[in-house]
Chains A and B, each alone.
Chain A
Amino acid sequence: MFNVNKIREDFPLLKKTSIIYFDNACTTQKPKQVIDAIVRYYSEYTGCAGRSLHKLATKTTEEFEKAREKLAKFINAKKIEEIVWTKNTTEAMNLVSHSFKFEKGDKVITSNLEHSSGLLPWQLLAKKGIIDLNFVLCNKEGEFNIKDFEEKIDNKTKLVSIIFASNVTGTKAPLEEIIKIAHDNGALVLADGAQAVPNFPVDVRKLDIDFLAFSAHKMCGPTGMGCLYGKYDLLKELSPFMLGGETIRDADLKDHILEEVPHRFEAGIQNYAGAIGFGAAVDYLSKIGMKNIEDYEKELAKLLVEGVLKIQNLNLIGPKDWKKKNALVSFNIKGMEPHDVAILLDESNIAVRSGMHCAYPFHKFIGFDKGSVRASLYFYNTKEEIKIFIEKLTNIAKTLGK
């Protein structure tokens, strides 16, 4: 049974302080199990994976590959080799954009809701004249426009890059439908799963998704660690954009033979502690159960959205129906700067984020040129914390808002 108080015991920071941490879309807190796994690597078996043959290196290789296996299982990948380590979602997205074999005139479709990491890599290619970049315009609530997508996709479209769950509106893209339409038109789909994989069960085989990028630190894992899932045959088709140690089988002064997938994409010494920590995070989440996490977060979303909607002078971004959202709200208070609201909440020991949340085009599209305040929850947050947050926010809006 899901017991939030018991779960909170695992998080040293939550145990030690009275802080209400509502900045989980930025990064999450780390449970003791993850911290211990990282400390174990550094204190018991520090070594290089896949290189040396001594005991420490062998143990590192074992644990490093075991973490890969855990991740593959977590998202139901067909093969362990379909998991490529990256340093974050951004690097995973860039890996695809830089390694995909585009030909001049190929089209890429993305949306106006994207995070910078899902937009700028394509802008770069478009500016170089390598691709034609097209956009599906989500409505002002951040809902994906399937009709617009169907109109824009054609046989020139090689890739569709879409944010799975928005870090601003909390809405989910209809990924199954998008993938079906894309495949029918011969295009592949890359999803930015940074806000999706941590919050609800994601089955890559069921979705039939081609590429999925996500980060460890948004799902209780360490920072500086991410992953790219890709169908094995598609990964083999990519041309690595970064080469170095461990990416090749053989080389002479003029040429080289690439290592197998996924190692050909993992140049140089890897973040072993990060990968092992990522594996521990996946173990931790799996133990709680992703379905349980999703269900509990829905309860939080209901309370959160219904609470903020009662506050006068508050403009909520995205749908007002909590069923359409993750446990995340972005908003502005009339007459106040987003940073001011965040600092005032911080003075009450409530941590939220303010600014553009790396989604400049969408904020401009909805007329929030100075950004917004975002409160994003995770499964260790409590209903009591939401009540305190609503109370403090109401007071701020009432006293200082227009």
Chain B
Amino acid sequence: MPVALEDLTRGAVCIGLYPFSLGFPLHQVVRESAEEIDASLEEHVSIEFEKTVQPEDVPEVVVRLKLRRVLLLQDATHGGRRDVIVAPITSLKPHQRERTSWYERLLRGQIPYLYRLTEQQQGVTAEAAVNLANVTTVSRDTLLRWTGQLSEQEMRTISEKLIDTLELDISGRLDALR
């Protein structure tokens, strides 16, 4: 059920289970809810459902899960690594588009932590944005379906936005190149 290893390339857009807490026994939920999740993925609808799981550390946990699109910021095709860093993708709501100056900045690519997606090959069916302010690590097993792939150029733009969003210091590298 998880996405095939060879499809987990940098820039892939996948539907994953949320919340993304590492160490949480999501694999158990995936196993026990396979039919329900499969049906939702086929219909391309977001699902929300509750599951009761029994991890070792606590007697019982009731968890509400939903499917959410994420962008892979790293290549995860190597079988030896079980986790991968992703950025969640969020659908734009009508009231957000009504913030005219904010929306125009988004259209011009000027919001440092957001990258706008509109095309089907980008793995979305409606206008959405990659939220680079909420980058997180997920278990590869919770990525359930591949829906698209961003280009090298798009990932280059996202990398530049990550420099601002994650407040990375690249001065040493720039100095070395001068």
Q: Do A and B come from one complex?
A: no
Q: Which residues of A contact B (CB under 8 A)?
A: none
